Structure 1
Amino acid sequence: MIRLYDTIEPNVIDEELLKLAVEEQGPQEEAGQVAKQEGINFKDVRSLQLDFQNILRIDNLWQFENLRKLQLDNNIIERIDGLDSLVNLVWLDLSFNNIETIEGLDNLINLEDLSLFSNRISKMDAMDTLVKLQVFSIGNNMIDNLLNVIYLRRFPELRSLNLAGNPVCENEDYKLFVTAYLGDLVYLDFRLIDAHTREAGFAKYQYSIYELKHRENQMQYKLEEEKANIAELEKHKAAYVEYLNGSYLFDNLYSDDTEAAKLAYLPGVPELLETYKTKFVSICQNIFDYGLIQQEKRTAEVDLFYECLGEALSDNRDLGLKTINEFEKKHVKMLHDIRNANELQVVDAKMSECAEEISHLFDILMTYEMQLVEQLEESINNFERNIIDMVGTFVENVQGLMAQCRDLENHHHEKLLEISINTLEKIVKSEFDEDLPDDVRALFSDKDTVVNAVGASHDIHLLKIDNREDELITNVSNWCSGIVDKVHTDEHNRNRKRVKEINQYIDHLQNELDNLDFGDLLD
């Protein structure tokens, strides 16, 4: 595809081009002149037309975060990029360009109408996030395989599709295939799909579609299952007990323990190991169950605190607004009386009275704020004590349960060492008849080697138990200190902001009073 302006110097989307485009497409009367004088805020632009600009690369559009319609047709664009910030885009026209690959659309989750007409695209993909897509025009490209159509089944809102001008349209079953596989499509190549074509397409491909739907349902089930598992894991992480509901920690003890794998060949060790695993996993499950219960209690405590906080802030705000409204009714009358006073003495008296009322309002609002600060300080201190106590109790109980895991490990170690020494004695006395692999038999060359092997395995297990305990305690302690610090910081910032608001409001009232115009009275 070659256009006359392809030989012109390629253009770039720079600040000047964007300003010019916005000005030309904006209001041309008085409002347009004002916009030019005061400057254009690209964030306010909803529609942008950049067609026939000989643009080679999309760039500098990040400021148009509220853009809904973008026209980039009839340029020489080779790649779709630079659109990541346009999350509110609904309509995008990239027709008549040199695009070969669909890409760079991931963030356009609100896109409803997309035109890639007359480019060099041979495959439809990389549009998974465009779940709201309704109209898709990709005619006059290089798509030659009907299977591309199946990709479009993931867009439930798609109602209009244009593929005209692609090699795939030369297939005699083109219309029947598209109609059958895209059952909700209303328009194909800008023509309404008639009932006869729809029925014929379904009849021809019904069995293939049944099989496809079955596979899609299976994939959807797996996807939903994966999402559910991820959500469940996030819940476990929030309780700091992830992977403690099962044999994960136990299996992890042995994941890189080569000595334990060798010792497992000894008679009696598999049974010993199975008993150890059963008891160990049971303790881990207790930690897991206890962790979820404690997480629910912590969440309830946090929710209750913020609920009470919201009520206190709301009550204080309502009280302040009521006081200000009552003051302003009285204040308007006082200003009116001052402006209409006939004598300077009266003016001075009323101004003094008004100034006193303003000062009194300041005292009342600051009193409300101080009362709120005291109320919130008490609530925050209670919340802090409760959270710290809850986390402290949780940590203490977890440490107790982890101690049980270590006790089990110590007991298992003693039994394993006993079996290993007995095996060594039998081997020395030539009383051991079991067949052992060469690397296992090499452990029993002397007592030190046996003891070191069993001890190395034991040390690995204890270290992993300690590390998991430290991880849990560190994470929940960090959460505790983090949420307490945030509560104190938020309250400090709220208080400073409120005091500033009060002072600004009082300053405004006082300035308004000081700058009253008394007209003829002062003349």
Structure 2
Amino acid sequence: MRRTKGIDHLDTAVIDEDLIGGALMEEADGDQHISSMTTFELAQVVAEATTLRLSYKNVLKIDNLQGFSRLTKLCLDNNIIESISNLDHLVHLKWLDLSFNNIKTITGLEKLTELMDLSLYNNQISEIEGLDSCSNLQCLSLGNNRIANLDSIIRLRRYPKLKLVNLEGNPVCREVEYRFTVLAYIKNITYHDYGTVDPAEVLQAKEQYQDELLELQEKEALEEEQLGRERASESETEVLRKANLLVTKTLFSDMFEADAEMSKLKYLPGIDDMTERYRTHVQGVAESYRTAGLANAVKKEEEVTLFDAAVKDLRHSYARRSIEMIEVFTREKKKTFNELSARESIDPGDLLPLQTKLEELESALMDLEMYEVEQHEQLMGEFETNYTEFKNHCFEMQHNFFRAVEEHEEGYFNSLAQLAQDMLEKMAKNELPDDAPDELSNLLIDRDTCMNIVVGSHDIHVGKLLGREDETRAAEIRAMSGIIESRRREERTRNRNRMLELRDFFETNRRHIADLISSKLLEDYDEADGM
């Protein structure tokens, strides 16, 4: 049963190392070694934990759960929590129990997209909200809260996997239409308020709300269609961004959004049709560039894939040869050590052949590493040459695209200038239509001012166009530099690590040889001393 004392009469607890350690110990059936762990050891246990129970702990605030990267089940029921917070990092959470708390609003669940079971039973919640990201929700318990509106229940329709819903004990349950609303609107409900749902009752409920459901389904279909378009647009945008072609989608709008003069020119009669023709021309040019650019992007990706595969094969080949050489030496070392260990005494010269072979191996492996570095650099040079051709082709396509748009901009400017001159002449002859807006008359009062506005608009468009061209070219250079540098950096790291490995290997083997000599000499000394 839930405690009934107010917060003022309780010693509130903080989720800290001690509380977490105790909870983990309880979860481990009293395994006492947890209590004696260091902070580092406890952090490791926390990182591996999938379940955490902090029930009946007088917790007021959810906090300090950062280390639980694998947590799938969290129980915080029967506490005095007032708000849901600090759970964003628990992205693998599937089961969350916050029942018997003092929560008023459902918040802080935006990142919990894998959540399947949520209990907020016996809180102070009045609205069903804040669950938009919980698309995998299957079980929802909101009983004994303050939900009073049937519309809140209808919102649960957006969760297609929802099968179990508990709302018993809310004011809404007293509504005559409560149960039929739940059964009609929640698509796949199987359990409702502690009972199994009768399919016949669901059918009856849906028949009762047939008209409302049809209207809602039409609305949902439109929303889904719109969502589909938005997702397709986002997907296209990401593809274009990755291929450095996003400018084909945004250039026209960029030019006009930056054009402050257009607010004055928009009253020229016919300018809308003129602008729309301009848009169509730019779209045509952009489509051609986009198609060619995407094809070139595919070729660039293929070139990168071929290079990475060649480097992988190169490294595998040299690694195999290195392993074979080391294995030969290791067998020889083992044989020599076995033979010499069996002797009563050894001379340092007995290990000279093995030392010579170690030196030969060192020279051979260093040469092998040098050859690998040289071959990688050769592959790198070939890759850079090939990729540069694709980059230069991109530059050529970019140049052609921006010059084509610039040419259409020049045509648009000339048409706009001619339109403005025609209207200025009509203004001079007092031939403007009677219904002409005052803004048009104000624009045409002074010829120089009007033409300066037209020229200013053109300059803004050209400036934005040239700016986008510079940005697109710079992005292409950065992309290539990033790819080249990342591969060179990866090779430098590999070479550095390999040199350290070889150094450790040879130092270890020299030490083993020295240790064998020392141990045998010591044995001889001990035997002589004993005599």
Tell me by how many angstroms 1:59 deviates: 0.8
Q: How many residues align?
A: 517
Tell me by how many angstroms 1:230 deviates: 0.8
Matched ranges for 1:422-461 at <5 A = 433-435=431-433, 440=440, 448-449=448-449, 452-461=452-461
- Correspondence 1:256 to 2:260: yes
Tell me how far apart the structure 2 counterparts of residues 449 and 130 of structure 1 sit (CA, whole Å).
58
Stretch of structure 1 that moved more, 349-358 or 48-57: 349-358
Give the alignment partner of residue 63 of structure 2, picking from 41, 59, 63.
59
Give the corresponding residue for 2:529: none
For normalisation by structure 2, the TM-score amounts to: 0.82
Stretch of structure 1 that moved more, 87-96 or 304-313: 304-313
% identity of equivalent residues: 31
- SS of the aligned residue for 1:133 comes to coil
Give the corresponding residue for 1:26: 28
Q: Does structure 1 retain, via aligned residues, the 8 Å contact 2:252–2:279?
A: no
Tell me by how many angstroms 1:375 deviates: 1.7
Give the corresponding residue for 2:300: 298
Give the corresponding residue for 1:495: 495
Give the corresponding residue for 1:469: 469
CA change 1:261–1:333 in 2 (3 A) is: same
Give the corresponding residue for 2:344: 343
Tell me by how many angstroms 1:62 deviates: 0.5
Matched ranges for 1:137-148 at <5 A = 137-148=141-152
- Correspondence 1:231 to 2:235: yes
Q: Deviations over 1:262-282 (max 9, x none)?
A: 79449xx88987776665554
Q: Does structure 2 retain, via aligned residues, the 8 Å contact 1:254–1:260?
A: no
Tell me by how many angstroms 1:475 deviates: 2.0
- SS of the aligned residue for 1:114 comes to strand
Q: Deviations over 1:470-508 (max 9, x none)?
A: 222222222222222222222222221222233334444
Stretch of structure 1 that moved more, 508-517 or 315-324: 508-517
Give the alignment partner of residue 168 of structure 2, picking from 146, 161, 164.
164
Q: Does structure 1 retain, via aligned residues, the 8 Å contact 2:264–2:439?
A: no
Tell me by how many angstroms 1:451 deviates: 5.1
CA change 1:405–1:25 in 2 (3 A) is: closer
Q: Deviations over 1:276-302 (max 9, x none)?
A: 666555444443333333322322222
Q: Does structure 1 retain, via aligned residues, the 8 Å contact 2:25–2:32?
A: no
Give the superposed CA RMSD. Answer: 3.8
Tell me by how many angstroms 1:231 deviates: 0.7
Tell me by how many angstroms 1:234 deviates: 1.8
- Correspondence 1:219 to 2:220: no
- SS of the aligned residue for 2:42 comes to coil
Code of the residue aligned with 1:19 in structure 2: it is G
- Correspondence 1:9 to 2:11: yes
CA change 1:342–1:234 in 2 (3 A) is: same
Tell me by how many angstroms 1:100 deviates: 0.9
- SS of the aligned residue for 1:39 comes to helix
Tell me how far apart the structure 2 counterparts of residues 164 and 127 of structure 1 sit (CA, whole Å).
19
CA change 1:26–1:254 in 2 (3 A) is: closer
Q: Does structure 2 retain, via aligned residues, the 8 Å contact 1:175–1:197?
A: no
Code of the residue aligned with 2:472 in structure 1: it is L
Q: Deviations over 1:424-455 (max 9, x none)?
A: 67877x5x745476665666667655653443
Matched ranges for 1:310-389 at <5 A = 310-325=312-327, 327-328=329-330, 331-339=333-341, 341-345=342-346, 348=348, 351-389=351-389
Q: Deviations over 1:323-356 (max 9, x none)?
A: 44555555555544454x222217x466555545
Give the corresponding residue for 1:125: 129
Tell me by how many angstroms 1:377 deviates: 0.8
Give the alignment partner of residue 150 of structure 1, picking from 154, 164, 186.
154
Q: Deviations over 1:230-279 (max 9, x none)?
A: 1112222233333536983597289533498279449xx88987776665
For normalisation by structure 1, the TM-score amounts to: 0.84
Tell me how far apart the structure 2 counterparts of residues 274 and 188 of structure 1 sit (CA, whole Å).
56
Give the alignment partner of residue 93 of structure 1, picking from 93, 97, 117.
97
- SS of the aligned residue for 1:490 comes to helix
Q: Does structure 1 retain, via aligned residues, the 8 Å contact 2:68–2:90?
A: yes
Tell me how far apart the structure 1 counterparts of residues 478 and 37 of structure 2 sit (CA, whole Å).
51
Tell me how far apart the structure 2 counterparts of residues 442 and 506 of structure 1 sit (CA, whole Å).
88
CA change 1:494–1:421 in 2 (3 A) is: same
Tell me how far apart the structure 2 counterparts of residues 166 and 438 of structure 1 sit (CA, whole Å).
61
Tell me how far apart the structure 2 counterparts of residues 309 and 221 of structure 1 sit (CA, whole Å).
46
Tell me how far apart the structure 2 counterparts of residues 419 and 36 of structure 1 sit (CA, whole Å).
81
CA change 1:257–1:293 in 2 (3 A) is: farther
Q: Does structure 2 retain, via aligned residues, the 8 Å contact 1:262–1:439?
A: no
Code of the residue aligned with 2:346 in structure 1: it is Q
Give the corresponding residue for 1:77: 81
Give the corresponding residue for 1:287: 289
- SS of the aligned residue for 1:74 comes to coil
Tell me how far apart the structure 2 counterparts of residues 86 and 4 of structure 1 sit (CA, whole Å).
31
Q: Does structure 1 retain, via aligned residues, the 8 Å contact 2:340–2:346?
A: no
- SS of the aligned residue for 1:12 comes to coil
Tell me how far apart the structure 1 counterparts of residues 426 and 32 of structure 2 sit (CA, whole Å).
105
> Is there any run of 5+ residues in structure 1 with no aligned partner, and where?
none
- SS of the aligned residue for 1:40 comes to helix
Tell me by how many angstroms 1:55 deviates: 0.9
> Is there any run of 5+ residues in structure 2 with no aligned partner, and where?
527-531
Tell me how far apart the structure 1 counterparts of residues 207 and 415 of structure 2 sit (CA, whole Å).
71
Tell me how far apart the structure 1 counterparts of residues 307 and 172 of structure 2 sit (CA, whole Å).
63
